[in-house]
Amino acid sequence: MKPVFDFFCHSPTVMFGAGRATEVSARLRELGRSRALVVTTASGQRRYAPVIESMGATVKASFAGAQPHCPIDVAKAALDAYLGADCDCVVSLGGGSTIGLGKYIAAETGAPHIALPTTLSGSEMTLLFGVLVEGEKRTRREPKALANTVIVDPALAQSLPIRETATTGMNALAHCIEALYVPKSNPLTSQLALTGIDMLYRALKKLADEPADLEARTQAAYGATIGGLMVNSVGIGMHHRICHVLGGRFEVPHGESNCVVLPHVLAYNAAAIPEACAMMESVMGANPAVALQRLVRDLGAPVSLRELGVPADSVGAIAVESFHHIVHNPLPIDEAAVLRLLQAAWAGQEPSVS
């Protein structure tokens, strides 16, 4: 029987490989642009100074104020910097929040955007971004937000702290795992997602012991790129809805909420994807939900919402808000089920598997 499906793919041009971060200025010339706003965090501006210096005269201005979850006042300040310097393109250099700031500028101005990811968030591959407004993470999905070019240089991540590697790596795994059961999933995306899961899991296991291993960094970056492509192709599910609520209400870093919540959501939905779970188990050597939580522990990352400072008496309200943001789930879900899941996540319990 021949499969019948639709495949949606909105992808930037991807330039992948160690050492390619120095090719930004050449790419800008190809695009006919010469007045870039470089967006980073304060620490990123120092850490990646050689990359910025390699851009030479194409750097017209810099904005080093990127913050987690992209607060709206920060986003507006970055936009003012872009307009005030009469820039004609934006280059974002950093993790998901920094790249999200570049997306905001691109969406507001139509400017070409070159993204250089330094973590495993996969944000650089998507047209989805969010800004924090009055305690709520408001997501936007706009074609103009999609980067023109993504330069994935795994060498940039060799100095990345292992905790940040772990947390953004779990976010990338979540992108691939959710791709297995969202409504738009299909045989093609499922095969790509399983490849991403395999590469990310093996790479993160290796990086737990050897954080600077370039081969493992390259495999992880490849898996994260697949994860970002999955977000564009098939979208997100319950797991990310919960993490967005946690980020908006309690400013929990997105990667850290992924570490805690993903094993529990996967355990809940496992019955809907038995074949995929069996394939993941063959890679991980154990029930995938349990194996993921063990990996998080091995990487020294958080396994409970309690560790992240989420008050115990807020879990009920988080469950209610999360439920109202859940558009679809492969298994029936209600507020009580979300509450039980979050209570287990708050306590850091081992995922409940059948």
Residues 243 and 336: their CA atoms lie apart, in Å, by 18
Strand order in the sheet with 59-63: 13-16, 149-152, 113-117, 89-94, 36-39, 59-63
Lowest mean pLDDT of 87-91, 109-113, 271-275, name the range. Answer: 271-275
Residue 176 vs residue 69, higher pLDDT = 176
| pLDDT in the model for residue 2 | 62
Average pLDDT, the chain: 93
Average pLDDT, integer, range 167-177: 95
CA distances from 306 to 219, 317, 344 (A): 32, 15, 10
- Work out the average pLDDT over 188-211: 95
Residue 174: CB atoms within 10 A of its CB come to: 29
pLDDT one-digit tens code per residue, 227-259 = 999 998 998 999 999 999 998 888 888 899 999
Residue 354 — pLDDT band, cuts 50, 70, 90?
low
Helices (H) and strands (E) in the chain, counts: 14, 8
Domains of the chain listed by start with CATH number: 13-157 (3.40.50.1970), 162-347 (1.20.1090.10)
CA angle, residues 180, 182, 188, in degrees to nearest 5: 50
> How far apart, in Å, are the Cα atoms of 342 and each of 305, 310, 346?
8, 11, 6
pLDDT in tens, 47-62: 999 999 999 999 999 9
Alpha-carbon distances, residue 121 vs 60, 228, 324 (angstroms): 27, 8, 25
pLDDT at residue 73 greater than cutoff 60: yes
Residue-level pLDDT at 90: 98
- Of 116, 75, 121, 97, residue with least CA distance to 251: 97
Mean pLDDT score, 18-35: 96
Nearest Cα residue to 14 out of 106, 126, 95, 111: 126
Q: What is the distance between the alpha carbons of residues 54 and 75, in angstroms, rounded to a whole number?
A: 26
Distance CA 197, CA 284 (A): 10
Identify the pLDDT of residue 253. 87
* Residue pair 302/256 in contact by the 8 Å Cβ criterion: yes
pLDDT digits 0-9 by tens, 280-295:
999 999 999 999 999 9
Q: What is the mean pLDDT of residues 156-183?
A: 92
What is the value of pTM for the model shown?
Answer: 0.91
Q: Strands 128-133 and 136-141: what pairing?
A: antiparallel
